Amino acid sequence: MLLGAALTAFLSVSAQEQPVDYVNPFVGTTNYGTTNPGAVLPQGMMSATPFNVMGSDLNKYDKDKQWWSTPYDVTNKYLTGFSHVNLSGVGCPDMGSLLLMPTTGELNVNYRQYGSEYTDEEATPGYYKNKLSKYNIQCEMTATLHTSRARFTFPAGQSNILLNLGEGLTNESGASMRFVNDCEIEGSKLLGTFCYNPQAVFPIYFVMRIHKTPEKRGYWKKQRPMQGPEAEWDADAGKYKLYTNYGRVMSGDDIGAWFTFDTQANETLEVSIGVSFVSIENARLNLETEQPVGTTFDKLRADARAKWNDDLSRILVEGGTKEQKGVFYTALYHAMIHPNLLQDVNGQYPMMESDSILTTTHNRYTVFSLWDTYRNVHQLMTLVYPERQMDMIRTMMGMYQEHGWFPKWELYGRETLTMEGDPSIPVIVDSWMKGLRDFDINLAYEGMYKSATTPGKDNLMRPDIDEYIKRGYCPMESQYDNSVSHALEYYIADYSLSTLAKALGKKEDAKMFYDRSMGYKHYYCKEFGTLRPILQTGEFYSPFDPLQGANFEPSPGFHEGNSWNYTFYVPHDVKGLAKLMGGQKKFVDKLQMVFDKNYYDPANEPDIAYPYLFSYFKGEEWRTQKLVKELLAKHFTTQPNGLPGNEDTGTMSSWAIFSMMGFYPDCPGVPEYTFTLPTFDKVTIKLDPAYWGADKLVLKKEGGDGYIKEIRLGDKKSSSYRITHENLIKAGEITFVCE
Amino acid sequence: MLLGAALTAFLSVSAQEQPVDYVNPFVGTTNYGTTNPGAVLPQGMMSATPFNVMGSDLNKYDKDKQWWSTPYDVTNKYLTGFSHVNLSGVGCPDMGSLLLMPTTGELNVNYRQYGSEYTDEEATPGYYKNKLSKYNIQCEMTATLHTSRARFTFPAGQSNILLNLGEGLTNESGASMRFVNDCEIEGSKLLGTFCYNPQAVFPIYFVMRIHKTPEKRGYWKKQRPMQGPEAEWDADAGKYKLYTNYGRVMSGDDIGAWFTFDTQANETLEVSIGVSFVSIENARLNLETEQPVGTTFDKLRADARAKWNDDLSRILVEGGTKEQKGVFYTALYHAMIHPNLLQDVNGQYPMMESDSILTTTHNRYTVFSLWDTYRNVHQLMTLVYPERQMDMIRTMMGMYQEHGWFPKWELYGRETLTMEGDPSIPVIVDSWMKGLRDFDINLAYEGMYKSATTPGKDNLMRPDIDEYIKRGYCPMESQYDNSVSHALEYYIADYSLSTLAKALGKKEDAKMFYDRSMGYKHYYCKEFGTLRPILQTGEFYSPFDPLQGANFEPSPGFHEGNSWNYTFYVPHDVKGLAKLMGGQKKFVDKLQMVFDKNYYDPANEPDIAYPYLFSYFKGEEWRTQKLVKELLAKHFTTQPNGLPGNEDTGTMSSWAIFSMMGFYPDCPGVPEYTFTLPTFDKVTIKLDPAYWGADKLVLKKEGGDGYIKEIRLGDKKSSSYRITHENLIKAGEITFVCE
């Protein structure tokens, strides 16, 4: 209570403009940002999102006609409902099911026909609104951690509510449901196959309640086509059949439930949905706990807004433009979508890679896109939301205990094995090094050691580890493998592991893993001055073009990028790399060239820390400041296309957040930051004294609009443009004195 | 206990040949008889039946290529499993799902590929066996009232057990299941749309246990087809996908579960399935009650055989050929398949036309094909199995109380509205008149009165009642309506109702309904000497051909038949009809012509009592005897084509049973029989003294091989070839003295 009171006092801001007011949930909703404007809470399991990616040529982007990974694109026009539980900022299709849609007039359950264009879109944290043009229905959505509430305002006449379980962003199909009574449905739907991993499937359970008894209700199901005389007799063959008189269990690939009402003009109908990944009973418990009898839509909306404002207010910014504040708080908003809660209100959650159910006493998280988020999201969590990062670490520990492996790309209890590397290692080491140590580090080390040493045939994380250990690098296995990318990830993971081993007094391990982490040098090709794939023979791959692989085209040796996007990705040995390249000047010139020639890809992870690497070298720090400022201005706006590319569950936004605050964790696993020019005059980060022994960190900008000429830590001048986490916290107040 | 002991003593037969030994379950399994050789108990809910009607061109009859209403035809060759809970002797597809199939070798879940030819078929009551040619697996099936047991004998190597929930004889689709553990699945599947009634749907619930832990287990599901880049990425698109690592809820249109084993040569695996129409919990309770731990296949098989023998032994026949005994006991076997139990072992059952669950204290029956069975099946039940008929009446009363209507064609709690008329009325009246009165006859009368008087728009049983009441007949409503057939059914129902009204002292009602029942005279057309449809104008329909409608071709005014098949169907006023036709001689000549010219259809219900009508006229009784003997010999054999046509849930067989015993209930609702020449030297019907005050009825044949010259009731000579039910019982012993 004291902390809460302190927090409130501390975070007093102007009554006019609260942090939550600056958030624009439409940012990133096109240009493949893959965020969405749905209603969601920080780290909430539930999101209720407008779904406009199927059913009509009015939509430029159709989930069934191309690779498509988001339920919403702001440039699409045809809405077929609101999807429940969605992924924000990912590159593969999944989730986005339980499609709730209001319509009017004669019942029509074909989404190619019942969808509608819409106007009057509005979205704020925890709230979304639009108006369906075809039906003149106003739709509003809000959410709690595990539940959603819809409020539909209808015109007079027959109104309908549809719940479509046949469609969704997921490529999985199959659902089952039943009417509990006229106003309540319960059921389940299969989700999964994220990034086309066929076995990564899991069920979502739900309970839906409508707050008014319908005139009629029933199911629909797309019928199998029939041949010959059967087709003549079965009027529904191949069509959507309406079940008007049956309310027991209904299962199938393409099923739905419908409700019809006789509404007055401007009558509102509300619909509540609770979900769980454990059971229908838990979905109901979640619903009844978070929406007790009497709860109003407006209260839920206000609660959601307050919760967002509380969380966003952990960082208060002053100065800067409204646009910059919009970018900042929207980024912070996006950084708190995933990972999200997996457990239900009673603590139950699905065991990792198992059909069993377990109970947790801390928050159990899911949606770990670790190849992305190990770079900065967890560093942001660690500093600003350490209680969450601590539970994320505990979650990862739980996954190891349950499944035998730390996560790589975990989704609702499934290891999807998307992307490469061993990214849990730097995440855990980074947090532990910074002081988040309320977990069994020896057990953690055991798990890390396992994935770093188990032979490839039994190694889920590092299937190509055998050659990596033997040779110090991963040779090419096929034309378009990702061998260099794999090895680069292993180097950074092994570097983290070596620092942990050292800290734990395991000197031999520390040396072994350190030696491994230097293996990147094998890939350095003097001829091109870049990293270059190596054949099984030990020779470099030819013909080699370090530019091949731009724009997601296939690239020998590199994943989602080309050699230029990876060559500087040795964050644990920047100086060593520079030496390899011929010294500081050559390194700096080459890195500058990457930017000058536009080889830099701001929209994907491998090179996102590049701008900060200049600051490892005295006198070159201005380049970091110049580039970061330019990149922020160019790629981060409050427009729907205001993200450089795929948000990658907060990674793009975390880059912006750190960059705008004036420091960035450029080497995962190493508890250090590189300074850059802050965007705001003053940034106040509310720290949790239980973790950091201090209650705030203030970053101030003084002087002119030019580059940094001096950095003061408290009242001492900093001798470096890099700083350890410990010193950052200790500083209390950091002042950037600018030219 | 005393009764049981008496029964056993009474029913002692030769050790060599018991009644059960005469039954051949293959009778009726082709020639559209639509029976099947599956394992089933008398009135059992469960049947476990070889399923050979899909998946290969080896099968002449394919459920998906034509109208097809049985899971098995003896002339087909390609077996895709054993279906659980089937209909026997019906004309529309339904049920026949939960397809259990053993295979060997690499797992293949496509039924177009995993099916097999087979040899060594064998079937006895409660038992079926074959050998799968492709796999060298011996399959055996047996059943209890609510459960099945399979025993598969495998060769050495990989063996598989598949449960296919995607297919079945039913046209409905959609199922859901989950692994309870490695050896147990529970789930549900939607069934229904019998005779293409789209709303007559209901779920079946099941629990399946395999008596050995599999090496591996999982699901399959037919995947939706995909387009474009998605199809490239999803290797399973449009195919059967194997789920190898997921055991929670699985739902979809076309799903299944697989188990693999490493079997030794001749190793047997057993599989038990329990079903319920109430819940999964009840399916499990049924399974655990009827197959307690330790129950062996052989015990279940022996119990099933003993139960059948007990029930079949209620009638003992002596004399006659082995073939005739085979026909008789097979007919009696077929007469005890439907109606069958609906309730679970705890008494729960699905309420009629409702999603609710109720509990019964008596046996609750289902599968009432009443347009067929009201003619003779219930009369057979009443006499020989009165405790079952009593519960069938109670069931019908329950349906009225629950749904507001007596059944017409009820299937697992759904009124399918198949065929026409108001057939519950004669069934209930017939039983009550004969003395089965342990139900509320006033409530029954209320229900009958309701369907006989409610205006058409609200009348589920008699939608065209308005004109029927106003005019005394149903005028044609469209070219191929069944108006005359409708009216003929209403006449016989109203006649029954008039006799009941009279018995209840409701004189005015009695007269009203009697008058209605005479309305058939409107249809009599002197020009053709037949019944003839009447137009809305009141004129006869023209051009008229009384032969139009043979072989199920569309027929103006008549359903599944032509005018000749219906003209004599006024069983409650045979003499009146004769008068209309110009007297006894003209009636007899015309009826004889129907047989002589082959207008008589022995394979459908409207005219099946025709042979008995001669015996209403003195001196013409020999025609009945001659025709019945000829028809029995021609149409009823122990061959697979040994039924004249569709068994119609026991109706064809009941015709044979009565006819072979020497008497037939030719007028439903009227407690009388017409005698004919018995097939056997002696028939002993075990009567239940609690119902009939006597413990047996013996029918003996004496004299030569010619026609009956005298009938003795006890020691008195009968003056008639017809006899009331009361006098039949009283007689104790009836002797047919033949020429």
Q: Once rounded to an integer, what is the mean pLDDT over residues B213-235? A: 92
Determine whether the interchain pair A251/B251 forms a contact, defined as Cβ–Cβ distance below 8 Å: yes
* Most A-contacting residue of B62, B176, B414 (CB-CB within 10 A), to test interface: B176
Question: In this predicted structure, what is the pLDDT of residue B438?
Answer: 98
Report the gap between the CA of B347 and the closest CA in chain A (Å).
Answer: 19
Determine whether the interchain pair B198/A173 forms a contact, defined as Cβ–Cβ distance below 8 Å: no
Please name which of B189, B250, B264, B190 lies closest in space to residue B217, comparing C-alpha atoms.
B250
ipTM surpassing 0.85, yes or no?
yes
Q: Does B196 touch chain A (CB under 8 A)?
A: yes
Classified by CATH at the fold level, domain B25-310 comes out as Beta-galactosidase; Chain A, domain 5 (2.70.98)
d(CA A614, CA A591): 8
Chain B residues within an 8 Å CB radius of A197: none
For chain B, what is the largest distance between any 2 Cα atoms, rounded to a whole number of angstroms? Answer: 90
Straight-line distance from the first to the last Cα atom of chain A, in angstroms, rounded to the nearest whole number? 44
d(CA A393, CA A395): 5
Q: At what angle do helices B297-312 and B322-335 cross, to 10 degrees?
A: 100
**Tokens 């996007």 label which residue?**
A565
d(CA B349, CA B188): 15
Between these two residues, A448 and A226, which has the higher pLDDT value? A448
Encode B208-247: b = buried (16+ Cβ within 10 Å), e = exposed: bbbebebeebbbbbbbbebeeebeebbebbeebbbbeebb
Peptide bond into B543 cis (omega under 30): yes
- The interface residues of chain B toward chain A in range 301-330, judged by CB-CB distance below 8 A, are none
Encode A660-672: b = buried (16+ Cβ within 10 Å), e = exposed: bbbbbbbbbbbbb
d(CA B473, CA B453): 14
For B149-164, the pLDDT digits (tens) are 999 999 999 999 999 9
CA atoms within 13 A on the CB side of B267: 16
Q: Does B203 touch chain A (CB under 8 A)?
A: yes
Question: In this predicted structure, what is the pLDDT of residue A8?
Answer: 42
Please name which of B629, B70, B95 lies closest in space to residue B340, comparing C-alpha atoms.
B95
For A480-516, the pLDDT digits (tens) are 899 999 999 999 999 999 999 999 999 999 999 999 9
Determine whether the interchain pair A199/B246 forms a contact, defined as Cβ–Cβ distance below 8 Å: yes
DSSP state string for A527-557: TTTEE--B-TTSSBPSS--TTTTGGG---TT
Chains A, B: CB pairs < 8 Å: 130
Strand residue runs (E) in A640-714: 663-664, 672-675, 682-686, 696-703, 708-713
Residue A551 — very low, low, confident or very high, per pLDDT cuts 50/70/90?
A: confident
Chain A residues within an 8 Å CB radius of B233: 67, 196
| Minimal Cβ distance to B67: which of A203, A230, A248 | A230
DSSP state string for A494-523: HHHHHHHHHHTT-HHHHHHHHHHHGGGGGG
Question: In this predicted structure, what is the pLDDT of residue B538?
Answer: 97
Q: Exposed/middle/buried for B280, CB within 10 Å: 0-12, 13-18, 19+?
A: buried
Q: Does A252 touch chain B (CB under 8 A)?
A: yes
- The interface residues of chain A toward chain B in range 8-37, judged by CB-CB distance below 8 A, are none
Poorest-pLDDT segment among A12-21, B55-64, B91-100, B664-673: A12-21
Phi then psi for residue B701, to 5 deg, are -115, 135
For A558-617, the pLDDT digits (tens) are 999 999 999 999 999 999 999 999 999 999 999 999 999 999 999 999 999 999 999 999
Helix, coil or strand: residue B475: coil
Q: Give ∠ CA B581-B585-B587 in degrees, rounded to 5.
A: 40
| Minimal Cβ distance to A252: which of B173, B229, B249 | B173
For A194-210, the pLDDT digits (tens) are 999 999 999 999 999 99
Amino acid type, B632 = L
Q: Once rounded to an integer, what is the mean pLDDT over residues B488-509? A: 98
Q: Does B188 touch chain A (CB under 8 A)?
A: yes
For B112-162, the pLDDT digits (tens) are 999 999 999 999 999 999 999 999 999 999 999 999 999 999 999 999 999
Chain A residues within an 8 Å CB radius of B198: 234-236, 241
d(CA A290, CA A460): 38
Contacts 24+ apart (CB under 8 A), A106-111: A106/A158, A107/A160, A107/A242, A107/A258, A107/A260, A109/A162, A109/A164, A109/A220, A109/A240, A109/A242, A109/A256, A109/A258, A110/A240, A111/A54, A111/A55, A111/A80, A111/A81, A111/A164, A111/A167
Instruction: Examine the pLDDT at A548 and tell me if it is beyond 80.
Output: yes
Report the gap between the CA of A180 and the closest CA in chain B (Å).
Answer: 10
Q: Does A218 touch chain B (CB under 8 A)?
A: no
Q: Once rounded to an integer, what is the mean pLDDT over residues A141-161? A: 98
Q: Does B227 touch chain A (CB under 8 A)?
A: yes
Chain A residues within an 8 Å CB radius of B350: 248
- Please tell me what DSSP assigns to residue B224: P
Cβ(B531)–Cβ(B567) under 8 Å? yes
Q: Does A173 touch chain B (CB under 8 A)?
A: yes
Residue B601 — very low, low, confident or very high, per pLDDT cuts 50/70/90?
A: very high
d(CA B272, CA B141): 10
Amino acid type, B403 = H
For B664, the token pair is 């037939």
Please name which of B679, B674, B637 lies closest in space to residue B661, comparing C-alpha atoms.
B679
What is the phi-psi region of residue A418: left when phi exceeds 0, alpha when psi lies from -120 to 50, beta otherwise?
A: beta
Determine whether the interchain pair A246/B355 forms a contact, defined as Cβ–Cβ distance below 8 Å: yes
With a CB cutoff of 8 Å and minimum separation 6, the contacts of B10 are B686, B695, B696
Strands of the sheet with A255-263, listed across from one edge: A39-40, A47-50, A82-84, A97-104, A157-164, A255-263, A216-222, A240-243
Pairing of strands A682-686, A696-703: antiparallel
- The interface residues of chain A toward chain B in range 336-375, judged by CB-CB distance below 8 A, are 350, 353, 355
**Tokens 């076309």 label which residue?**
B254
Chain B residues within an 8 Å CB radius of A189: 251
Determine whether the interchain pair A251/B174 forms a contact, defined as Cβ–Cβ distance below 8 Å: yes
Q: Once rounded to an integer, what is the mean pLDDT over residues A167-191? A: 97
Question: In this predicted structure, what is the pLDDT of residue A4?
Answer: 40
Phi then psi for residue A269, to 5 deg, are -120, 135
Instruction: Examine the pLDDT at B2 and tell me if it is beyond 80.
Output: no
* Most B-contacting residue of A227, A248, A348 (CB-CB within 10 A), to test interface: A248
Q: Give ∠ CA B705-B711-B712 in degrees, rounded to 5.
A: 125
Amino acid type, B266 = N
Q: Does B299 touch chain A (CB under 8 A)?
A: no
User: Which residue of chain A comes nearest to B249, CA vs CA?
Assistant: A203
Q: Does A552 touch chain B (CB under 8 A)?
A: no
User: Which residue of chain A comes nearest to B280, CA vs CA?
Assistant: A249
Task: Tell me how far CA of residue B616 lies from CA of A664, B567, B587, in angstroms.
Answer: 107, 16, 11
- Please tell me what DSSP assigns to residue A445: H
Instruction: Examine the pLDDT at A469 and tell me if it is beyond 60.
Output: yes
d(CA A13, CA A682): 13
Between these two residues, A267 and A15, which has the higher pLDDT value? A267
Q: Does B175 touch chain A (CB under 8 A)?
A: yes
Residue A227 — very low, low, confident or very high, per pLDDT cuts 50/70/90?
A: confident
**C-alpha dihedral sign at B401, B406, B409, B415:** negative
Q: Where are the domains of chain A?
A: 1-18+313-335+606-739, 24-308
Question: In this predicted structure, what is the pLDDT of residue A15?
Answer: 53
Classified by CATH at the fold level, domain A1-18+313-335+606-739 comes out as GH92 mannosidase fold (3.30.2080)
For B27-54, the pLDDT digits (tens) are 999 999 999 999 999 999 999 999 999 9
For A131-140, the pLDDT digits (tens) are 999 999 999 9
Chain B residues within an 8 Å CB radius of A234: 171, 193, 196, 198
Q: Once rounded to an integer, what is the mean pLDDT over residues A437-446? A: 98
For residue B722, list its beta bridge partners: B674
Question: In this predicted structure, what is the pLDDT of residue A231?
Answer: 86
d(CA A40, CA A308): 9
With a CB cutoff of 8 Å and minimum separation 6, the contacts of A27 are A33, A35, A326, A327, A330, A334, A637, A638, A639, A640, A642, A643
Cβ(B174)–Cβ(A255) under 8 Å? yes
Chain B residues within an 8 Å CB radius of A246: 199, 201-202, 355
Cβ(B143)–Cβ(B40) under 8 Å? yes
Considering the domain B1-18+315-335+607-739, what is its CATH architecture? 2-Layer Sandwich (3.30)
d(CA B651, CA B670): 18
Pairing of strands A340-341, A365-366: antiparallel
In chain A, % of residues over pLDDT 90: 95
Classified by CATH at the fold level, domain A24-308 comes out as Beta-galactosidase; Chain A, domain 5 (2.70.98)
Cβ(B660)–Cβ(B698) under 8 Å? no
| Minimal Cβ distance to A199: which of B224, B243, B254 | B243
For A46, the token pair is 């539930």
Q: Does B176 touch chain A (CB under 8 A)?
A: yes
Cβ(A676)–Cβ(A662) under 8 Å? yes
Q: Does B98 touch chain A (CB under 8 A)?
A: no
- The interface residues of chain A toward chain B in range 512-531, judged by CB-CB distance below 8 A, are none
Determine whether the interchain pair B198/A255 forms a contact, defined as Cβ–Cβ distance below 8 Å: no
For A645-676, the pLDDT digits (tens) are 999 999 999 999 999 999 999 999 999 999 99
d(CA A624, CA A587): 14
- The interface residues of chain A toward chain B in range 51-80, judged by CB-CB distance below 8 A, are 64-67
Cβ(B220)–Cβ(B161) under 8 Å? no
For B145, the token pair is 């009232």
| Minimal Cβ distance to A252: which of B227, B244, B253 | B253
Q: Tell me the whole-structure pTM to 2 decimals.
A: 0.95
- Please tell me what DSSP assigns to residue B79: B
Q: 10 Å Cβ neighbour count for A212?
A: 16
Cβ(A445)–Cβ(A501) under 8 Å? yes
Q: Does B249 touch chain A (CB under 8 A)?
A: yes
For residue A55, list its beta bridge partners: none
* Most A-contacting residue of B226, B243, B248, B418 (CB-CB within 10 A), to test interface: B248
Determine whether the interchain pair B64/A227 forms a contact, defined as Cβ–Cβ distance below 8 Å: yes
* Most B-contacting residue of A172, A188, A243, A253 (CB-CB within 10 A), to test interface: A253
